[in-house]
Amino acid sequence: MFTRTVRRQRRAGFTLVEMMFSVGITVLCLITLGAFFVFCSHSFATLFNYVDLDDVNRIAIDQLTRDVRQSNNVKSFTTNQLVLTDFDLADLSYTYDPTARTFTRDKNGESTVLLTQCDRLSFAICQRNPVNGQYNVYPAADATTAKVINVTWSCSRKIFGIKEDTESVQTARIVIRKQGT
C-alpha cells in the first residue's frame, strides 16, 4: 500500500501589518494622483481662459479700432462712454456698464455686446499733437478737438469658483484718420 505523506501546506495571504502597509502606499499614490489631476485641470482651465479672453479682447479692440479710424469725429465723451459720428453720419456709441460688467457697441438701434465680465474700462480723448517729441499726446479740451482715443480695460473670470485676472491691462491709442471735422 502506498503511503501518502501529507504535508502541511503553508497558507498564503497577507498579515495585518502587510495589509496596512499596502493600503497606506495605495492611499498615498491615489492622493498624489488626485492632486496632480486637480493641478492639471486648473492649468488647462486657466490656459483655455487666457486663450478665450485673448480672442474676445482682440475682436473687441479690432472693432473699436476700425470704427474710430473711419469715424468723422467724436460727438460726446465720458470716461465710460464714447459717441462718434460714423462715416455715414450716424451716431455710433461704445458704452461700458460697470454694474453689468459689459462693453457694448450701439449703432442704428442695433446693440452688440463686445465684452462681458469686464472689471474696468475707461476712455480718454486727446489731441493729435505730441508732447515735446514724445509718444504722449496732449489731452483734448473737449470732444470737438479730439483726434486720439485712448482706451484701457481689464477682464477677469472665475475658474473653479476663484476669481483670477486673465488680462491685467488691454490698452490702445487709436487715431481718427479723417483730418476734417
Distance set, CA 43 to CA 37, 69, 154 (Å): 10, 38, 21
Range with the largest mean pLDDT of 28-32, 52-56, 84-88, 130-134: 28-32
The confidence score (pLDDT) of residue 10 equals 64
Range with the largest mean pLDDT of 1-5, 12-16, 81-85, 153-157: 81-85
Report residue 50's pLDDT band, with 50, 70 and 90 as the boundaries.
confident
- Asked if residue 168 has pLDDT above 70, the reply is no
Compute the Cα dihedral for 47, 170, 155, 107 and give only its sign. Answer: negative
- Asked if residue 95 has pLDDT above 90, the reply is yes
| Mean pLDDT to the nearest integer, 117-134 | 84
- Asked if residue 8 has pLDDT above 80, the reply is no
| Residue of 113, 135, 137 lying closest to 124 (CA atoms) | 137
**Strands laid side by side in the 137-139 sheet:** 137-139, 118-130, 148-159, 162-175
Which of 54-63, 65-74, 132-141 is the least confident region?
132-141
